[in-house]
Every structure is written in structure tokens, then in C-alpha cells.
């Protein structure tokens, strides 16, 4: 039905769905608190089953369809109601689950620069990965491009890892994530 015009793209991004991202809507989100603007981008890593790539487990978790019988770990987590705004697969594919203007449920108990409940004021990006293997080159390329777009939409955003906002509780994006590969430096809390 014709190409996507620049105007379509701008309007779509105003609504918080980024053009070019594959859209899979998650029910796990709500409104940001009144007056809360986006000031932080949180980098995560996830793989389901743990340390396995390429399956549909993350999609199922974020859409409340994870089969508790499919894997022992799924029995522990299938009840969770979680999401992130974005997910970047090993091949660099970008998937969006929640509009950026809404509050996704990715950070849990967390704090950044003395402010708690980071979901209120952050965007969550999950990389398909784990603590024991390097990330794929294509993921760094896709993440860097996404960060450029988000920093245009939300100027001055800080960038941090989940382990920075929930130290002692979370390790992701993990020791193999190379912050120096990004055009934007990681911020210190």
C-alpha cells in the first residue's frame, strides 16, 4: 500500500512506536506517572532458555504466554508480568513491545542518581545475550542506531546498565557487554 513517508514516520514516533521496528505488543505496561519524562535508557541482556538464542521464549515471556512445562526455568518465571520497550536479537533485528511514551516493566527495584523506580522515567532495551558469551557485532550496530534515535527523541538521556541501577540484584548486560563499542558513553550514577 505504498511506501512509508517521512510524515508517517514522524507521527509514528510521536506515538512512541519507532518506524522500522517489528512490533509485538505486550500487555505489560501502563502510563508513566504524571510529570515523569524519559531521562534514562537501561541496557539489559536476556536469553530464554538461559544461554540459548534464537527461540521464542522472550516473546512469550513479554506477552504472558510462556509455557511453564516447556523448560524447568520457565516454571520459575512464567508468572512474571514483565516487558521492555525494545529487544535486539543476535542478528540485529529490532523488536518493540511497548511505546516509548508508556512505562514498560523492565527494571524492578532500582535507583538511579537517588531516584527510585526507574521504570517511571526510563526506556528498557534488552539484548539477546547472557553473562557468559560475547554479543554479536550486529547487535552493537543495531543498538547504536537505536540509541541515536532515542537520544533525538529524548535529548540528554543518561545510559546505564541494569546492573548499575540494581547492583547486587542484577548482573546484566554482563561482563561481555563492551560499552566502548557505543557512540555514547555510559553515564556514572
Catalytic residues: 126
Contacting Zn ion within 149-168 (CB under 5 A): 162
Number of residues that bind Zn ion (CB under 5 A): 3
Is 172 an interacting residue with respect to Zn ion (CB under 5 A)? yes
Q: Which is nearer to Zn ion, 89 or 162 (CB)?
A: 162
Is 71 an interacting residue with respect to Zn ion (CB under 5 A)? no
* Maximum Cα interatomic distance, the chain, rounded to a whole number of Å: 50
Q: Which is nearer to Zn ion, 85 or 162 (CB)?
A: 162
Is 44 an interacting residue with respect to Zn ion (CB under 5 A)? yes
C-alpha span between 19 and 11 (Å, rounded): 9
Is 85 an interacting residue with respect to Zn ion (CB under 5 A)? no
Q: Which is nearer to Zn ion, 46 or 157 (CB)?
A: 46
Residues in the chain, total: 189
CB atoms within 10 A of CB 22: 11
Check: CB of residue 156 under 8 Å from CB of residue 38: no
CB atoms within 10 A of CB 137: 11
Q: Which helix (H) or strand (E) holds 149?
A: helix 137-153
C-alpha span between 99 and 25 (Å, rounded): 9
**Closest distance of CB 84 from Zn ion, Å:** 8
Q: Which is nearer to Zn ion, 71 or 162 (CB)?
A: 162
**Closest distance of CB 107 from Zn ion, Å:** 7
Contacting residues toward Zn ion, per CB under 5 A: 44, 162, 172
Amino acid at each position: 500500500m505504498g511506501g512509508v513517508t517521512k510524515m508517517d514516520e514522524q507521527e509514528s514516533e510521536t506515538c512512541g512506536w519507532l518506524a522500522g521496528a517489528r512490533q509485538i505488543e505486550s500487555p505489560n505496561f501502563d502510563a508513566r506517572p504524571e510529570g515523569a519524562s524519559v531521562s534514562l535508557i537501561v541496557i539489559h541482556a536476556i536469553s530464554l532458555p538461559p544461554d540459548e538464542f534464537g527461540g521464542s521464549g522472550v516473546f512469550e515471556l513479554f506477552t504472558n504466554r510462556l509455557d511453564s512445562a516447556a523448560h524447568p526455568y520457565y516454571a520459575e518465571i512464567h508468572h512474571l508480568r514483565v516487558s521492555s520497550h525494545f529487544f535486539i536479537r543476535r542478528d540485529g533485528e529490532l523488536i518493540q513491545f511497548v511505546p516509548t511514551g508508556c512505562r514498560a516493566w523492565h527494571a524492578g527495584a532500582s535507583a538511579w542518581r537517588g531516584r527510585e523506580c526507574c521504570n517511571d522515567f526510563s526506556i528498557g532495551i534488552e539484548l539477546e545475550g547472557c553473562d557468559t558469551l560475547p554479543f554479536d557485532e550486529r547487535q552493537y550496530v543495531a543498538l547504536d542506531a537505536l540509541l541515536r534515535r532515542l537520544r533525538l527523541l529524548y535529548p540528554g538521556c543518561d545510559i546505564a546498565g541494569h546492573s548499575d541501577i540494581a547492583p547486587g540484584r542484577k548482573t546484566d548486560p554482563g561482563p561481555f557487554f563492551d560499552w566502548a563499542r557505543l557512540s555514547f558513553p555510559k553515564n556514572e550514577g
